[in-house]
Amino acid sequence: MEEYIKTIPNTTKQNIINHLNENVQPLLTERPYGAAQGRMQIWLNYEPELKQDPEFYLAHTDERLWNYIKLISPEWFTPHVALITKGGPISRHRDASYADYPAMSINLGGVTWHYENCRPNYSHQGTCDSAPAMSANLTGGEVFMFNCKNPHWVTDVAPDRWSINVWTIAPRYLKKFDDAQALYRHTV
């Protein structure tokens, strides 16, 4: 973790989990490949292709969740897309090219979160192939920022653990993202 933001109060955390269980769980699909193979997930607002020069496609919209994400985001961070997941580990990886360096994670259950701080301060400066891994046992309610271009992964995932990961689109793809918002007539 680069920067801890807050712990969500238990009542708020449970309200979010109830909302996800009732309104989002029926829409989840299984990730068929990649670092998160087998994990259940759904994109919020837009789904970026996980490749170089990605396209952006309209995804699930949930105004209540999105407004909460914007409310708890640091002032300097502009959320564009989010991935909601339930259960399932994810192996060591760096996030795809659509994402700018800073990312926000809202953890809603038990998990061990691992992170290698190869690129400090949300940038590419000081790049290395690997760094000593730090691990944190999270219980639910933690909100934190991290450089998503650093290797990170989760283990010991509780089956009922929800996670909401939020990204700003990388500057080189903002025009394509803006074009998608105009095409789908959905602005975040």
pLDDT tens-place string over residues 155-165: 999 999 999 99
Q: What is the pLDDT of residue 130?
A: 66
Ranking 130-134, 135-139, 161-165 by mean pLDDT, the lowest is 130-134
Residue type, 163: S
Rounded to the nearest integer, the mean pLDDT of the chain is: 93
Kindly report the backbone phi and psi dihedral angles of residue 75, in degrees, each rounded to the nearest multiple of 5, phi listed first: -55, -35
Q: Taking residues 19-30, what's their average pLDDT?
A: 97
Is residue 118's pLDDT more than 90?
no
Q: What's residue 104's pLDDT?
A: 97
Find which of 34-38, 129-133, 141-145 is predicted with most confidence, using mean pLDDT.
Answer: 141-145
Q: Which residue intervals of 1-141 are DSSP H helices?
A: 10-19, 63-72
Task: List the structure tokens of 154.
Answer: 């989760």
Q: Which two tokens stand for residue 60?
A: 């699930």
Residues 170, 186: Cα–Cα separation, whole Å: 19
Which candidate, 58, 80, 60, 61, places its Cα nearest to that of 70? 80
Radius of gyration, alpha carbons of the chain:
16
Please report whether residue 99 resides in a domain: yes
Residue 188 belongs to a domain: no
Residue 118 belongs to what domain range?
3-183
Is 23:61 a contact under the CB 8 Å cutoff? Answer: no
pLDDT at residue number 127: 62
Which pLDDT score is estimated for 3?
82
The closest alpha carbon to 185, from 63, 44, 67, 58, belongs to 58
The pTM of the full predicted model, rounded to 2 decimals, is 0.94
Stretch 115-141: mean pLDDT: 81
Distance, CA of 2 to CA of 115 (rounded, Å): 9
% residues pLDDT > 90 (the chain)? 81
Cβ-proximal residues to 88 (8 Å cutoff; 6+ apart), any chain? 31, 36, 38, 39, 40, 157
Total domains, the chain: 1
The residue-averaged pLDDT of 101-114 equals 97
pLDDT in tens, 7-16: 999 999 999 9
Query: Which CATH number goes with the domain that contains 122?
Result: 2.60.120.590
Structure tokens at 129: 């192939």
